Structure 1
Amino acid sequence: MYNKLTSEEKMLAYSEVANNKKSTDVAYLLWFFLGSIGIHSFYLNRKGSGITILI
């Protein structure tokens, strides 16, 4: 059976998504200034590519 969320649970889920969203502008700034060491990848939770760039 499908379990529907209450309106309070939906609002909580939407606020969590909004708070955890990564800013594209910040990612581009990190890439521009610190891209050679992969900081933008770590910011975007891409640890594998961040470590590869760092090495």
Structure 2
Amino acid sequence: MVLDLRRNLSNADRAIRTVTGLLLLYMVYVRLITGIWATTAAIVFALFLLIEAASAY
């Protein structure tokens, strides 16, 4: 099995991931997303998006 992990080719993709991650964190902060499982999932997903945007993957 060969995994082809390509880097993001544009800054637009990184910007979209950053904005989406920050929006999810904001929604948790203002309590638009409630419940322990939904909050945890949103925070984890947002952190993955922000890490991917920072590392350009």
TM-score bin (small chain): 0.3 to 0.5
Structure with a larger share of its residues in helix: 1
TM-score by length of 1: 0.41
TM-score by length of 2: 0.40
Asked which structure has the greater RCO (Cα within 8 Å, sep 6+), the reply is 2
